[in-house]
Structure 1
Amino acid sequence: MRDAIRFVESKVDWILKQKTKIQAQSTLFAPESCFRTRFHKLAITKGNTDKVYNRVGNGVIQIFIPDRVNHEQPKVQEFIKNTLIDVMRWEAKVYLPKRLKELADKHGFKYENVSIKNASTRWGSCSSVNNINLNLHLMRVPEHLIDYVLLHELAHTVVKNHGEKFWLLLEHCYPNARKADKEMNNYRTQTF
């Protein structure tokens, strides 16, 4: 027990740095938050209401919070996050399959099915039988990067690895693909 305590005490600085890093990575939604999806922007309003609720329409995800309720409460944050996920799922189902088909037709790719997922680590994937999975969080990235991810997965319908043939094919369809690949590192698949 003493050894364990000594070990933890010797790592206090590291533990505190890791805690700060984790807290900085999680999104805290507040009235001044600037969060956008492909087709909507988030607006949080505190006011004279008796419960937390949402209204989505006309390009706005409106969250209403009673004046007496702190927006930082975990239940409020969870409500906002679930609302955003629902909106992004709807947007992704409307936009991504259509855009995938447009790009596939334009570049001569064939795929089987497309699914929208709330994946924690990948923007997309292509199965051995050419089923394509796409992350609903794509609705938070710029349009040119959405196209990059879609073409990346379509290229996997032809080349199943990330070798030189894959990159040549992808560069043919999406010039500067490696630059876009690096740019995707500025985004996380899970923002919260």
Structure 2
Amino acid sequence: MIDASFNISTDQLSLTFIAGKQKNFFIRHQPHITEIIYPPQTSFEQLQPWLFKVVTEALRKQAKLILLPRIQELAALYDFHYSRVNINSARTRWGSCSNKGHINLSLYLMILPLKLSDYVLLHELCHTKEMNHGPRFWNLMNQVTKQQSHLLRNELRHFPSPFR
């Protein structure tokens, strides 16, 4: 349930609810920080569907501010080329890459620690060179993760996610 105590706190995002004095909700966005200011006497129980949309859109905005520059940085660092990146609200996967180099990233990457988010970005970037999960793909992943791809993959698999 989303209520006054709801928060997301990772090394790449802080999203908090703060009691305000105004009669309306408003949102303050800065890179890596979102504050949702709520009015006094807010009945959170009655607003759950709307609050879910508010939090989702806040994650989307932060993902655009943070993930898009980050994937550009990683692509330049490791000489990957992609055609475009979209941020979506996929709840079944963290990311995907088409054979045309179109990368889709879930806005829920924002709930991950940076190292796991980077792992997903690098995973999708590696698919721009190797579209399968064969040995060449994992060799490439090991190159860009300093031989940590299997450890990071396992950590991501055990991360409490919105998909469960």
What is the TM-score normalised by the length of structure 2?
Answer: 0.84
Query: Please, what is the CA RMSD of the aligned residues?
Result: 2.2
Residue 29 of structure 1 pairs with residue 2 of structure 2? yes
Aligned runs of 1:1-192 on 2, under 5 Å? 28-36=1-9, 38-45=12-19, 50=23, 53-57=25-29, 59-67=33-41, 69-73=42-46, 76-174=47-145, 175-185=147-157, 186-190=159-163
Q: How far did residue 119 of structure 1 move? A: 0.7
Q: Which runs of 5+ in 2 are unaligned?
A: none
Structure holding more strand per residue? 2
- Secondary structure at 1:95 match in 2: helix
* Kept in 2: contact 1:126–1:132 (CA 8 A): yes
Q: Distance in 2 between matches of 1:176 and 1:136?
A: 24
Deviation per residue, 1:3-50 (Å, 9 max, x gap): xxxxxxxxxxxxxxxxxxxxxxxxx122223323634321243x7765
How far is 1:161 from its partner? Answer: 1.0
Say whether the 8 Å CA contact 2:7–2:14 is kept in structure 1: no
Question: For residue 77 of structure 2, what is the amino acid of its counterpart?
Answer: K
Runs of 4 or more consecutive aligned structure 1 residues displaced over 6 Å after TM superposition:
none
Task: Indicate the percent of aligned positions where both proteins have the same amino acid.
Answer: 33
Residues 121-142 of structure 1: CA distance to partner in whole angstroms, max 9, x if unpaired? 1111010111111111111111
**TM-score (structure 1 length as normaliser):** 0.73
Distance 1:78 1:44, change over 3 A: farther
Unaligned runs of at least 5 residues, structure 1? 1-27
Task: Give 1 or 2: higher helix fraction.
Answer: 1
